[in-house]
Amino acid sequence: MRELLETYDAWRAEGLAVGRAVVIRTYGSAPRQEGSVLLVAEDGRMVGSVSGGCVEGASAEAVAEARRSGEEKVIRYGISDDLAWSVGLACGGTLDVLVQPSVPEVVLAAARATSGDPGASLGTTVVTELPADTPAPAVERPGAAADNDADPDLDELRRDALLAGRSLTAKVDGRWVFIEAFPARPRLVIVGATEVARSLVGLAGALGYERIVIDARTAFATPDRFPDVERLLTDWPDEAFDAIDLGPNDAVAVLSHDPKFDEPAIQEAIHRGARYVGAIGSRKTQADRRRRLVEAGVTDDQLAHLHGPIGLDLGGREPAETALAILAEVVASRRGGSGLPMHVRNQGS
């Protein structure tokens, strides 16, 4: 929704009414994820997408009908493989779409509030009670609290949505609700201004991460070496973490290869609840490090959250290849991915 605000504002400035369709559930190989939005102006113009092209026309007609009736509605669309192929997609799926005659003010406010500097906040969510005739889930999803938990905690679900960066639909107190997530921009905090860090900064920027590099060694942490980062700090890790208010929206990659930087950074990042903490180093380095961390008071449960050696096993050796392996693991951790090759993962589904 955030990326559509400029167009929305332009249409409203022209005096046009604007409705929307938003994906609330997907099944199979649906081309758009929950929270994807299509805006439809009363003159027929559209921006955004709910299906990659398969059902945009039908969704636009449904928005126009909702504008006439003034009522919201959830519509289920099944996208056949043939239909998907006709609009340039590889395969189809099924999606449930909430159609609204106008964009709720609370949604606009949430989208605007989270479009700038996130600070320490995870972002915000908007909870919409769905119409009484909303269809039940198309398929059972074993283990998915959003569909199967008889009495899930709404606050916990909202937090889960923000941490995952994805909207979701859940049954709470006997009613279906759509939890629309407007997450703050995720941050990647890199301790150690190394060559791997330089590559990692570029890759993370392409994925929309705010990038912070920390290194008390001023010969390494220079604007010339890191011209594109949002923040470059030459403090010790604990001081830098205070300055940026490190928290659960952050991934921390410890790359300095120096115990006097690495280990305090790891301890503090774990203590502050960073969503991901990884540290570079060989197996021997990791074993020695873990022993010293235990001696320093880090518990076994806390150490279980440490990714070390950092990154997925891609077999690369160059700094950019190592950076790619690190960022792949950061993304998998954030999105709940397995890190397995897709053909291996799909053998078990």
> Alpha-carbon distance 93 to 76, whole Å?
11
Per-residue pLDDT of 110-166, as tens digits, reads 999 865 444 447 789 999 999 998 988 876 554 444 444 456 799 999 988 988 888
| The pLDDT of residue 87 is above 60 | no
pLDDT, mean of residues 336-347: 79
The predicted structure's pLDDT at residue 346: 67
| The pLDDT of residue 85 is above 70 | no
Please give the residue that has the higher pLDDT: either 346 or 66: 66
pLDDT, mean of residues 223-248: 94
> Alpha-carbon distance 57 to 60, whole Å?
5
Per-residue pLDDT of 243-302, as tens digits, reads 999 988 899 999 998 888 999 999 999 999 999 999 998 889 899 999 999 998 999 999
| The pLDDT of residue 33 is above 50 | yes
Report all structural domains of the chain as residue ranges with CATH numbers, in order of start: 1-185 (no CATH), 187-335 (3.40.50.720)
Long-range contacts at 235-238 (CB < 8 A, ≥ 24 apart): 236/261, 236/264, 237/191, 237/261, 237/264, 237/265, 237/268, 238/264, 238/265, 238/268
The predicted structure's pLDDT at residue 119: 45
> Alpha-carbon distance 156 to 83, whole Å?
38
Per-residue pLDDT of 66-79, as tens digits, reads 999 999 999 998 86
pLDDT, mean of residues 234-245: 94
Type of residue found at 270: I
β-bridge partners, 83: none
The predicted structure's pLDDT at residue 55: 83
Per-residue pLDDT of 182-227, as tens digits, reads 988 889 999 999 999 999 999 999 998 999 999 999 999 999 999 9
pLDDT, mean of residues 57-61: 92
For residue 40, give every residue at least 6 positions away whose Cβ sits within 8 Å of its Cβ, in sequence order, or none. Answer: 18, 19, 20, 21, 46, 59, 60, 63, 64
Q: Is 167 exposed, middle or buried (0-12, 13-18, 19+ CB in 10 A)?
A: buried
The predicted model scores a pTM of: 0.75
Length of the chain: 349
Of 58-67, 195-204, 338-347, the range with the lowest mean pLDDT is 338-347
For residue 193, give every residue at least 6 positions away whose Cβ sits within 8 Å of its Cβ, in sequence order, or none. Answer: 213, 214, 215, 217, 220, 221, 222, 225, 226, 232
Q: What percent of the chain has pLDDT over 70?
A: 88
